[in-house]
Structure 1
Amino acid sequence: MNLALWIVAGLLAVVMLVGGTLKLFVPKEKLASAPAGGWIGDASVEFVKTLGAVEVLAAVGIVLPAAVGIAPVLVPVTAVCWVLLMIGAMITHLRRHESKAVVANLVYLAMAAFVAWGRFGPESFTG
């Protein structure tokens, strides 16, 4: 179970890091033209960059605290925050009728919920 949680957290970290980095460094116009990127056209540059920074921080928070043994409770807290972020993303994509993006968000939500459940519960780092 511990290995599965590490793998899922690692995969989530990659998703978070790539998505966040793109939002931070790729121009808004180019992001808006990507599939399921239409919402970016309706958002301010500041919002997109802030969301990118949050995603990069989440990538760090989902693995680094446990890896270094400093405040490992931040791992499940980050996972819960990611669940909330994915709920918001799903609402945004549902309003725009972007069903493929909703499916991806649902997968990421389920992965984060698994990490949160596992790290708050049976495979807690405090146990």
Structure 2
Amino acid sequence: MNLALWIGAGLLAAVALFGGLVKLVVPTQKLAAAKGAGWVADLGGGFVKTLGGLEVLAALGLILPAVVDTAPVMVPVTAVCWVLLMIGAMATHGRRREFPLVAVNLFYLAVAVFVAWGRFGPESFTG
């Protein structure tokens, strides 16, 4: 199960890092024009850049604390934060009737719940 939890955390970290960097690097106007990213125009550039920064931090928080063995409890805490982020993403995409994106967010939410459960519980780094 430890391997499955590492794979789950790695998948979430990759998604968070890619998504965060895109939000930080791509100009807001260009990002808003992309398919499925109409929400960007609704929320504004500052919010999108902040969200991108938080996603990059989430990518780091899902991997680094365990790798360097400094505050490894931050891995499941970050996974719980990712769950909350996915709930918000699902609500946003649901309001915009972007149901395929809701399904993608639901998958990421399920992986984050698995990582949080596993790292708080049976495969805790502290136990």
Structure 2 equivalent of residue 18 of structure 1:
18
Moved over 6 A (4+): none
Q: State TM-score, norm by structure 2.
A: 0.99
How many residues are matched?
Answer: 127
1:64 maps to amino acid: L
Unaligned ranges ≥5, structure 1? none
Coordinate RMSD, CA, aligned: 0.5
Structure 1 equivalent of residue 76 of structure 2:
76
CA distance in 2, matches of 1:67, 1:37: 33
1:61-109 per-residue CA deviation (whole Å, 9 max, x = no partner) reads 0010001100000000000000000000000000000001101100100
Structure 2 equivalent of residue 31 of structure 1:
31
CA distance in 2, matches of 1:44, 1:29: 9
Q: State TM-score, norm by structure 1.
A: 0.99
Could you tell me how far 1:56 is from its partner in structure 2? 0.1
Unaligned ranges ≥5, structure 2? none
Structure 2 equivalent of residue 126 of structure 1:
126
Could you tell me how far 1:33 is from its partner in structure 2? 1.4
